[in-house]
Structure 1
Amino acid sequence: MSNTGPKPKRLKKITGWFQRTNVSSSSSNSISNPSISSPNIDHPTQPSESPNIDDPPQYVEPPNRVNALERDPGLRSAIWKYPVNEHDSIRKAYILLGPFQPELVFPLSEHGDQQRRFQYSWFKDNPWLEYSIALDKAYCFPCFLFDTENSKNHTFTLEGFRNWKRICVSDNMFVKHVGGITSPYNVAMQKWDLLRNPEKHIETILESRSRKDVEDNRMRLKAAIEAVRLLANQGAPFRGHDESEDSLNQGYFKEVIKSFSRMSVEVERVVLGNAPRNAKYTSPTIQKELLNILGNKVRGKIRDEVGNSKYCILVDEAVDTSSKEQMAIILRFVDSKGLIRERFFKIVSVPNTTSQTLKNEISKVLTMYNLQVRNMRGQGYDGASNMRGIFNGLKSLFLQECPYAYFVHCFAHRLQLTLNATAQGCMTFGNSFYLEFLL
């Protein structure tokens, strides 16, 4: 028995969802797409089915302007008519194609009583020249690339030039179009040259110049770092009494850099007088910054040397030549090899010498380098009351946090007090010592 019921709807394959819709003319669609071919006269045209609302809309790919550029200069659109974000890509695509210079038999055109035509030899004399086959006109390729809507002269861009009679020695329109250095043609030629040569781009030039400046700055900074390292290691002063350019001795720091420059031409090229005025790296501020960086490196090494072991502190304060209180902190510990080490750790400028101020500054330094106060096992100060006071002295403040931080009167201070008392009690010894010191 035959089945007279409705036929089941054929399921759509998955590839059908991704087929590109043909947006060309109806004639081309009738050839390429059988589903919309012309009706057959032997079969009546059936009414089209209503669209299925469940089917997703098919994606129509937008036309690629760069891949479909018009080559004929008389038929193509001006670049400024495209969206702004596509200008550079279209210019680069046209630059890759180059000027449109067809080699053919050019048609004749009447100019008064004469007939003239475009000459192919003009391309050799004018590489910028283009020819439109559709309109039999000449155009300028670089002017087309960088023409603007507000340009005052569109003869060789939008309108085109066709008066072949004016291409002669006495009245050459091509020469007039080229003009002087500041002419629109020469400006467009410079832009064309920059766009087709990436190494001449302003960002490329700035990048190469920036790389050169970075290399010079690194060389200059290395010379300054080595000078600071040498002088700090030897404990020598950095600055001199007269650091002017006419001075015979500009101080240790600049003299060391001079010695570096005499040993290397590359260093001489970037330091001192050959360096920019804003990047000489010889000012006291730069010297102090470099010293601080090197000091932090050394303190980091000392902290690694201490590790998790217990330690003691030796502290003393003194007034420098600028009448500022300076506190020196020294760490005493046993290293991983079982040897006792004493390392000068840091000098801290303090506003006053009260026990609480000294305690706060010491705790700040220890906390900065992750040295816990609870690991302290000894304190060594002088015999002043603010240091060894039972109730409010510096040792008492630390004992409140760590009861194992025993206080010991510093042996160096004891020796100093002994020598002072001995010298004061023996006048003969004191005078002879003073005379020997003077000699």
Structure 2
Amino acid sequence: MERILALVAAAKEVVDVHAFFQSLSNIINVVCSCKRNDELRSAYATEIFHLVATNQIETGRGANQIGTLKRSGDTRWSSHFNSICSLLRMFGAITSVLEDLATNGSTYSQRGDATYALKSLLSFDFVFILHMMKEIMGITDKLCQALQQKSQDILNAMHLVSSTKSLIQQLRDSSWGALLEKVSSFCNDHAIQIPDMGASFSDIIRSRRKKDVVTVEHHYRVDIFTSVIDFQLKELNSRFSEQATELLILSTSLDPKDVFKLFSVCNICNLVKNFYSLDFSK
């Protein structure tokens, strides 16, 4: 569990991501009261009916079931992932509910809360980080789920760690263009303004600290996308160094389970050579 919490904290080291999760929690709180939850289900059902009627989504047994928004918890990485996935799936319905509440809410506080949540929801910042975190968490979620199991095969867990690192690095190195295209397409579908990526980026913090002016694309690609992934890799490497991973994998050869099923002379020799060379003669 400690490792799961470390990944959550690592992602929030980037202030834009921390702000995103606060906005995510606020949006869910506004639309997830009992009455509004019913409105959300109704709006989502209407949206699904329209998409099916216009052949924009496939139908089939178990597909397009009417769910609701998932609340996230600070101690569970997978709960954040579920919140993000459910919000993406129900984005149109959530927008409709917030628009209605912002206009027709019975009190000024309801209208104000809904207006604030709607502005966050329909901002490019929010949509960009929503898609980015879905990509990152989609990779790390399997590892997080495995590490939370009470009984875990060490060899399988270490292979999952290695593959997770590799996939995250691959995402960092070659997936920026695909991510930006996906976000842009989503924004066009939902009438969300896309900033000019070649324009100069400036915010209050950068201006007050007199930092060099960068482009909008640099801000999203380097300050957010690359930074979040680097924090994830740093955390994984600190918790699961290459040396520690190798030691655990080689040590499984000594596991007596299933009559030493994993026994390997080669692995035992490598274990001695790489970690206990002073304790054994040639």
TM-score (norm 1): 0.17
**Of the two, which has the highest radius of gyration?**
1
TM-score (norm 2): 0.24
Higher relative contact order (CA 8 A, sep 6+): 2
Structure (1/2) with the larger strand percentage: 1
